[in-house]
Structure 1
Amino acid sequence: MIESAYLHIPFCQSICTYCAFERSANLKQIDQWLDVICDEVQNTLKQAKQNDPTFKLKTIYFGGGTPSVLSCAQLERLASLFADVFDPYGEWTIEANPESITLEWLQTARRLMINRISIGIQTFDAKRLQTLNRHHTPLQAKQAVALCRQAGFESISVDLIYGFAKQTMADLNADLDAFLELDIDHLSIYSLILEPDSALGKRGYVPLDEYENALMYEQIDKRLTQSGFEHYEVSSFARNQKYGLHNSLIWDDGQYFGFGFGAIGRDEQGLYHHSGTLKQYIQKQSHLEYEENPNPWFDAIMTGLRTTMGLNVLKWNLRYGFDFKQRYAHVLNQYSECFIEQNDRISLTKQGMEILDTILVEFLMED
């Protein structure tokens, strides 16, 4: 039974220069889009409840795009569809940008049972915010966290980006200082890697090189672990066990509904998404497409090894019909100093995490 759902809100007030996700700045389309996605959600959840009257979602994630561009009424229309299928002990996350949230909007989200918020701050440096075409100030970022607390959010996460052109270690430490001053329990970090069709990519913007990025990654790990955070996934740090449950389920080879254009879902057939364009989706000319030539057993290895929890080898063997240790004996031997085996799980040491991409290529070569 699928116990998680990801819903993509593909609208933003403006387009960030690093972004290559499916999104639109035409907010006039939101109500038309809502008509279509509400039908999609209702039909899917109705079928799930018919198949299992006890059906509940343990995690829901509203991502984007910028979900906080939805008005209170639009958010209520969308979120209310999940009211009778959301496990009240579960995790319901919504993404937001500092400049587009208000106390009223946050209180509406809490009333609708949304209990975790992820704020796209990206950096506390005003000039770098301009480079990214972000429309909030460092002060607004801090005020946004205060508003979330005022509205009753206990689970708050922040996104930060590192690896900007000419960024120094002092610049990075200033961002980390500002984050730590917020006194919240979750941080997601992302290296500035540009897709060719992003605005910065088209301009020829060159982020820091791989070596400098690695040094910054090590510094982030050092600073945050010294401050009581657990580096529980390649890009994720949590304190007080405030892990992101939705992503943790996906990393542990879970299945999840993917609602809306730009979303990815996963069921027994594999990964799927909506075809075509946002315009076609709104015009009901889009359909679900499954990934061609899927390799789900490698996907499970890739996501499992991103986490300190690691890959459940016994579960993997049963699901995919292989003997993991036999199939990948060469990789396990070649990088033996990088693997930790415990209680049917295989995970990576800190050294292994730093060369995760290299190790994953070796796994892929064996397939």
Structure 2
Amino acid sequence: MREPKDVRRQRILAVVESRGEARLSDLADDLEVSVITVRRDVEDLASEGKLRRGHGIARSVGAVERGTPRAEPVAGGAGPAGQGGAVALMVPERHTYLYETMHGARSALYEAGMRVVLHIAPQVEGAERPLVERVLAEEVQGLLIAPRWRTAHEEEADYAWLAASGVPTVLMERRPRGGSALHTMDSVCTDHWYGIHLAVDHLVRLGHRRIVLAARDDSPTARALRAAFAEIAASRPEIEDWTVMLSAANAGPGRVREPLDLAARLRERGATGAVLHGDVDALMLVQQLTDHGVRVPQDCSVVAYDDVVAALGSTPLTAVSPPKYEVGRTAAGLLLRRLEELAGPGAGPAQRAQLLPELKVRGSTAHVGIV
């Protein structure tokens, strides 16, 4: 199913904002559309003043041009935090959610006068390790990283070498397995258990007793959401029936042979509520429901999870909104403190911070029986 135009353009803005600039051909590859389509989107966004066009390139209008003052990085080589040192920042390719986190981290580092060395890890297993090793050879002082970790096996394989990075490192939106080599590494992430609690509790309060979770299964966040939903749904006596399914054919680490049919699953379970992860999959699934005659919210209330583009649907989606930008800023602040501690008497205890998401109620949820 083709991605809605508004969603596609929001993703273009997020990518350009996070990278500063992007080639149209790269955007077309990321979004899996033609260069002509991307060029048309960029032209429209430029006419609205949301980005700038170059020859084959889209550029961010920049924080200063928007009227938001920003401290520029101090010139010079590596040095103590706030004196022009360099920090490596690494996030996965094609991950709009984490681009917002990256932007939060970058803004905090710029304000502290740090130079940011940005790396986008491709969608290949084990891609982060050679990139990290290369960037550490460039004498960066610290590392902020959000590994892709599509599977638990990939995650476990990265523990040992990442723990031995040799520089202060903070994980963003990742919470390693307890007792692992990374258990004592600083990390900042969203409390996704609480996010699912917000979604389920909202639906239960509206009278929904049969709920489906359509979620991804190709990231630590996705796995956390699935586990949290199973625990919470099983513990709520009001819920009569619940089930979990993939949110898209490409939402898991392996191939899905059977077509995903949310409307059929809702009918099969008699469900009137659904939690959908992430936003793009949610918008596509809501369109699928409409195509099958299922009205949102009259026949089915929908809560999206991520809130990157949830508000842009023809029916704006109620969504759990993780504090993506603040996760990045908090992680950067923790790293800056670690860098300051290098010149002091010693480092403080490791921190595993969790920030709470919030629920943004829009038009996709309603009381059972409301027409």
Relative contact order (C-alpha < 8 Å, sep 6+): which is higher? 2
Q: TM-score, normalised by structure 2?
A: 0.28
* Structure richer in helix, relative to its length: 1
